[in-house]
Structure 1
Amino acid sequence: MNAYGSPADDALRHHGDAEVRGAGSGLTDLAVNVRSGTPPAWLRERLAASLASLAAYPDSGPARRAVAERHGLAPDQVLLTAGAAEAFVLLARALPARRPVVVHPQFTEPEAALRDAGHRVERVLLRPEDGFGLDAGAVPPEADLVVVGNPTNPTSVLHPAAALARLARPGRTLVVDEAFVDAVPGERESLVPLLGQLPGRTVVLRSLTKTWGLAGLRVGYVLSDPQTVRTLAHQQPLWPVSAPALVAAQVCSTPDALEEAQAAARQFAADRDHLRKQLAQLHTAGLSEATPTPEGPFLLVGHPHAAALRDRLRALGFAVRRGDTFPGLGPEWFRMAVRDRATTDRFTAALHRALETLDTPHAPSGR
């Protein structure tokens, strides 16, 4: 299904942190998809040590080389950015696009950045009845820039790399947002191994925010061909990434850090299974999962009265992320981050109480 977004749609700028901002210390945060207990102590120590060198201008060379080695690429295929969000802005400003398409539901910043750059954005809306799986045939052949998330926020769908590869074609820029792929064991279905092998231009975006708890530091990177990296870099100001952020990019690319990230990904998978088992006991209360096989560190859940449920959960001390600000979703959806089992048990107990207090009768969700 195709649809054009309205430039007046302020919902694109709503993010999970708004659900907990100013809420006080008593609210358990399941609205933001950042791994709890991060950044780890060793990373905080490295960041603290980097403050001694703040008098010097940042040198991105060591970090670029570390990231390149981590992915088996050349340094000139890496562009470090102030978070993945900056990369979306650079892409919107630097690359020509007569017919840009964003595959939704997904993270809304790519579309917002394209609109801000003056583009008229076309949406391809994946269908809940298909489990929000990717239909490459739904993307117009004339689209010359296509953006898709993998695994996709908020649906937790991990699209097969082969399906993503079918979106590549001469004259098209394919942008794959892999901000959460390091939370997938083995980084399965990443498009990085196919860089340089697909027709057209391929751009992969990564973020250190989610696994390492660095949302406040702002660090991510672009992986692509050298010419695309140079084109995007020309849109950046001088020294766009701070020295501490460069240190983070470098040390989070070491073998020890990658091993820790994979251990965290395996733990996410186990904790997600526990959460799903708990939620399955509530299906008769009208609750349903959006995705048959979720692979991200979060779940999208539907209920006919999700907005009322969110309010009741908030009163019980839990914040979840509303779903209706994502194009293609309505008020019957909300997203929750995967947490440890103890937190999940407390949350699902609160969810059970919230469901019991709903005044309106439960009904099938229609998915």
Structure 2
Amino acid sequence: MRTRTDPTDGHDLRHDLRHHGDAEVRDDGEDLVDLAVNVRTGTPPPWLVDRIASSLTGLAAYPDGRAARRTVAERHGRPPEEVLLTAGAAEAFVLLARAHTPRRAVVVHPQFTEPEAALRDAGHDVHRVLLRYESGFRLDPSDVPEDADFVVIGNPTNPTSVLHPARTLAELARPGRTLVIDEAFMDAVPGEPESLAARRDLPGVVVLRSLTKTWGLAGLRIGYVLAATETIAALQRAQPLWPVGTPALAAAEACCAPSAVAEAEEAARHIARDRAYLLSRLADFPAIEVTGPAAAPFLLLRSRGAAEVRERLRKLGFAVRRADTFPGLGPDWLRVAVRDRGTTDAFLNALAQSVS
């Protein structure tokens, strides 16, 4: 069997859905090398900082998102009416949960936990589809119940780093179903070959994007939704007035311009090389299993006694992300961000001292 199903009633205490990687690096004032958060290092670039800073002279006026919305739309070959700018992709999950009343909401796990948390907070029951390590955490369309009218899946998926084929996800689309695809890390995949961001022919498809990971803007909060006009209108009605401030709008316009898209593509190719190096070095650790093939700027690792390994790494100056907070995973899992080769070498030296 490829999957397990797990109906929940909103009172599941086995996983902390609100635990995120930033919690690993903000405690006790420790000076740790951050392998827990998936924001690209060395960002935001100076040109983007300057662009955002220049927007501050316009703070007296109410935010006007029309230019940013047009730029995002052009980046994905869609009309502006099919774009909604949000305070990060996380806000989009809240809006989707508020704007929909699903009869059977399904979240495909392991994945980013905020979609399920938002659905629960809005009073919806959630049915989990749990993909298995034995099948590479890969989805078969038949895994999703036929009567599901609201489905959420990540691509590439956090924390597994699995990139699902676009044709597989397209098979899930059908009239009467909202299919939410979290593409927060898609711009870290060279060429974005499995993206559905530009597909306008599939019914009910909603694609979410984040600009905070590749561009180092987690503190600014900017993302967007791509969907049919009526879906965007419904989400906009659930959104407060002026939800995205002027600096974030400036960032969205800048990061979706052709020159920035080209820069992100080069960064994605660099990340792919760094990930390949990390994978090659991890092959020297027989006690470590790696989920693969990996496509995102992080890896999911399994090691016996991972909680103890994580604490030993912390004492040696490295923060990695515990993964037992993701439904479908247990105490033997860790997520590690891809970094440059020098950081990787130092991390692996620490890992050699930490794995029993």
Fold equivalence (TM over 0.5): yes
Residue 22 of structure 1: how far off its partner (Å): 2.8
Partner of 1:271: 274
* 2:128 partner letter: R
**Which residues in structure 2 correspond to 1:104-143 (within 5 Å)?**
104-143=109-148
The one of 182, 189, 207 equivalent to 2:187 is 182
1:98-247 map, 5 Å: 98-194=103-199, 196-198=200-202, 200-247=203-250
The correspondence of residues 1-367 of structure 1 with structure 2, limited to 5 A, is 1-5=4-8, 7-8=10-11, 9=13, 11-24=16-29, 26-194=31-199, 196-198=200-202, 200-283=203-286, 286-291=287-292, 293-355=293-355, 358=356
Instruction: Call closer, same or farther: CA 1:25–1:262 in 2, change over 3 Å.
Output: farther
Structure 1 residue 167, shift from structure 2 partner: 0.7
| Partner-residue secondary structure (3-state), 1:98 | coil
CA distance in 2, matches of 1:314, 1:230: 46
Aligned equivalents of 1:190 and 1:26: distance in 2? 37
What CA deviation, in whole Å up to 9, does each residue of 1:176-212 have, x standing for no partner?
0000000000012001232x212x3110000001000
Equivalent position amino acid for 2:321 in 1: R
Q: How far apart, in 2, do the equivalents of 1:256 and 1:5 lie?
A: 45
Please identify runs of 4+ aligned residues in structure 1 that moved more than 4 A.
Answer: none
Q: How many residues are treated as equivalent by the alignment?
A: 351
Contact 1:87 1:222 in 2 (8 A): yes
Percent sequence identity over aligned pairs: 64
Tell me the distance in 1 between the aligned counterparts of 2:180 and 2:10.
Answer: 22
TM-score calculated relative to the size of structure 1: 0.94
Shift of 1:120: 0.4
Name the stretch that deviates more: 224-233 or 7-16.
7-16
Q: Aligned with 2:119: secondary structure? A: helix
Change in Cα spacing, 1:18 to 1:6, as seen in structure 2 (3 Å) is farther
Q: TM-score, normalised by structure 2?
A: 0.97
**1:193 and 1:15 mapped to 2: Cα distance?**
29
Mark the runs of 5 or more structure 1 residues left unpaired by the alignment: 359-367
SS of equivalent to 2:148: coil
Deviation at 1:169, TM superposition (A): 1.3
Partner letter of residue 335 of structure 2? Answer: R
Structure 2 gaps of 5+ residues are: none
For residues 297 and 35 of structure 2, what CA distance do their matches in structure 1 show? 11
Amino acid at match of 2:94: V
Deviations 1:230-250 (A, max 9, x none): 010001111010000000000
Contact 1:126 1:135 in 2 (8 A): no
The one-letter amino acid of 1:294's match is A
Partner letter of residue 352 of structure 1? A
Specify the code of the residue in structure 2 equivalent to 1:349.
N
- What one-letter code is carried by the residue in structure 2 that aligns with 1:337? A
Instruction: Give distance in 2, aligned partners of 1:244 and 1:212.
Output: 14
Q: CA deviation at 1:96?
A: 2.5
Letter in structure 1 aligned against 2:334: F
Q: What is the identity, as a one-letter code, of the residue corresponding to 2:193?
A: R
Secondary structure at 1:35's aligned position in 2? coil
| Map of 1:362 onto structure 2 | none
Map Cα deviations across residues 260-288 of structure 1 (whole Å, 9 max, x no partner).
100100000000000001111112xx111
Which amino acid in the other structure matches residue 161 of structure 1?
A
* Amino acid in structure 2 at the alignment position of 1:97: P
- Matched residues in 2 for 1:225 and 1:73: separation? 10
Residue deviations 1:135-160 (CA, integer Å, cap 9, x gap):
21111000000000000000000000
